[in-house]
Structure 1
Amino acid sequence: MSPLLIIMLVLLVVSGVGLVIFILLHSGKGTGISDAIASSMYSTQTGTSIVEKNLDRITIILAVVFMVSLLVLMIIYPHGAIAA
């Protein structure tokens, strides 16, 4: 296995797992894990919006890393050309 393949596969797995975790942290209609965390950390509404903005940014970054690593793997190794 080439080092590029290993790096791309690690990026794909880490960003995929992180993406699942951060999507699950998003709140839905004000009742979510992020609201429970934010309400214990901050007592005002501005604290919650800061936590939500950071959660959105991290989720977007993980989605971009996931898509780029997936596209790089598709271009470099088309049709399962990875040989043992």
Structure 2
Amino acid sequence: MELAISIALILTSLMMILLVLLHKGKGGGLSDMFGGGFTSNFGGSSVVERNLDRLTVITGVVWFVCIIALGLLVKP
């Protein structure tokens, strides 16, 4: 059980990184520093952005549950 949760945690962690990097920068901050300051219409649909937000939140909740479950299983 612990191994399955650890694998799920690793997969959701990688997915969170990918999903956060897919978000469009809102201006100001680190996103402008790394090339997010130019205007691009790639993925500019509001439906796509809303679905990306939902997927990011769902992945974050699964990630959080995996951390709590792993913490409860490893606790001495």
Same fold (TM over 0.5): yes
TM-score (structure 2 length as normaliser): 0.76
1:53 is aligned to: 50
Consecutive unaligned residues in structure 1, runs of 5 or more: 40-47
What letter corresponds to residue 43 of structure 2 in structure 1?
A
Consecutive unaligned residues in structure 2, runs of 5 or more: 28-35
TM-score (structure 1 length as normaliser): 0.69
Q: For residues 14 and 24 of structure 2, what CA distance do their matches in structure 1 show?
A: 18
Q: Closer, same or farther in 2 for the Cα pair 1:26/1:75, shift >3 Å?
A: same
**Mapping of residues 1-84 of structure 1, within 5 Å:** 4-29=1-26, 31=36, 36-39=41-44, 48-78=45-75
Root-mean-square deviation (CA, aligned residues, Å) is 2.0
Q: For residues 15 and 25 of structure 2, what CA distance do their matches in structure 1 show?
A: 19
How far does the alpha carbon of each residue in 1:9-58 deviate from its partner, in whole angstroms, 9 at most, with x for none? Answer: 111000000000000110113758xx65325xxxxxxxx11000110011
Higher relative contact order (CA 8 A, sep 6+): 2
> Which of the two has higher C-alpha Rg?
1
Higher helix share: 1
Secondary structure at the counterpart of residue 21 of structure 2: helix
Runs of 4+ aligned residues of structure 1 deviating over 2 Å after TM superposition are 29-32
